[in-house]
Amino acid sequence: MTFKSKNTNSLYTIFVTTLTLLSVLSCKTNATRTYLIEGKKIEVNASYEKNQAIESFILPYREHINNDLDSVLSFSPETLDKSKGEWQSNIGNFMADACMELANPVFLKQQNKSIDIVLLNSGGIRSIIPKGNITKRNAFEVMPFENSLIVVALKGEQIKAMAQHIITEKKPHPLNGLKIVINKDNQIIKILFKEEVINPSKTYYVATSDYLANGGDNMTFFLKNEGVFDLNYKIRNVLIDYFYKYKTIEPSNLQRIIKE
């Protein structure tokens, strides 16, 4: 490596310094500014080829999910559909009964108390379960959301408000544990829990989804409560566990709302 003499180097430095000053002085120091913006949306449609590296990266994940979702867990002798039935549906009965059966031991273990009533909403049932083999995919289609079960402690007074809501809405909400007797004009005659009339000052434990427990779907009667207990049990997992437990799904046709 060779070096220039010190003298040459100083001259060189002066030259550069002068040049720098010159450039600063003679050129206007213009700020960089945006003079044009172009904006658009590009549709990601079938005209674009699939990136093969990405596609083959996804493949094992997709296959694993599909294999798991499509493995047969149970069987349904008939199509379960929320639009079948005025006050209750076969799919609603199945869901409410499954939640009662599988969530009660969880609540018992957690709080040493029993669930008295289950109420879900018809709107939360997102699909039918067609007649035939039942797979995990059916559970995902019926319950695509991550809602989990919450137990809400309600006074009998609020249970009355709940019954009134069900009758007023006239939707086949999944219900277990409660019997609502109405007359031909859809007026409530009596509300029964284990064949006894609801006691306004007694506390009942109602299992529902976290969404409804927070007053979703206009179920505001849940908001005036005596306490809430999170079961950390997703409703979809209740369904999947129930499918594992029973080789055939035969919903009870026990009447929960009785018209006299």
Partner 1 sequence: MQRRTFIKKTAATSALISLSGVSLTSFTTTKERKITILHTNDVHSHIDPFPDNHPRNPAMGGVARRANLIEKIRKEETNVLLLDAGDIFQGTPYFNYYGGELEFKLMSMMKYDLATMGNHDFDNGIDGFYAQLPHANFEFVSANYDFKNTKLDGIVKPYKVFIKEGIKIGVFGLGVQLEGLVDKNLYKETIYNNPIEIATDITKQLKETEKCDLIICLSHLGFDYKNEADKPSDIKLAALTQDIDLIIGGHTHTFLDKPIIKTNKAGKQVVVNQVGAYGINLGRIDFYLSDDSKYISQEKNIIVQ
Q: Which residues of this protein are in contact with partner 1, per CB under 8 A?
A: 3-4, 6, 9, 12-13, 16, 19-20, 23-24, 26-28, 30-46, 48-55, 57-58, 61-62, 64-65, 68-69, 140, 146, 210, 214, 230
Q: For residues 99 and 147, give the distance between their C-alpha atoms in angstroms, rounded to a whole number.
A: 13
Q: For residues 140 and 123, give the distance between their C-alpha atoms in angstroms, rounded to a whole number.
A: 15
Q: Based on the number of CB atoms within 10 Å of its own CB, is 78 exposed (0-12), middle (13-18) or buried (19 or more)? A: middle
Least distance to partner 1 from the beta carbon of 254, Å?
A: 32
Q: For residues 10 and 12, give the distance between their C-alpha atoms in angstroms, rounded to a whole number.
A: 5
Distance (Å) of CA 157 to CA 27, 104, 135, 162, 256: 83, 23, 41, 9, 19
Instruction: For tokens 């001259």, name the residue.
Output: 11
Is the Cβ of residue 42 or residue 195 nearer to partner 1 in the bound state?
Answer: 42
Is the Cβ of residue 20 or residue 183 nearer to partner 1 in the bound state?
Answer: 20
Is the Cβ of residue 60 or residue 109 nearer to partner 1 in the bound state?
Answer: 60
Least distance to partner 1 from the beta carbon of 124, Å?
A: 16
Instruction: For tokens 């609020």, name the residue.
Output: 158
Least distance to partner 1 from the beta carbon of 103, Å?
A: 18
Is the Cβ of residue 10 or residue 183 nearer to partner 1 in the bound state?
Answer: 10
Least distance to partner 1 from the beta carbon of 154, Å?
A: 20
DSSP for 114-125? ---EEE--GGG-
Is the Cβ of residue 8 or residue 199 nearer to partner 1 in the bound state?
Answer: 8
Least distance to partner 1 from the beta carbon of 150, Å?
A: 10
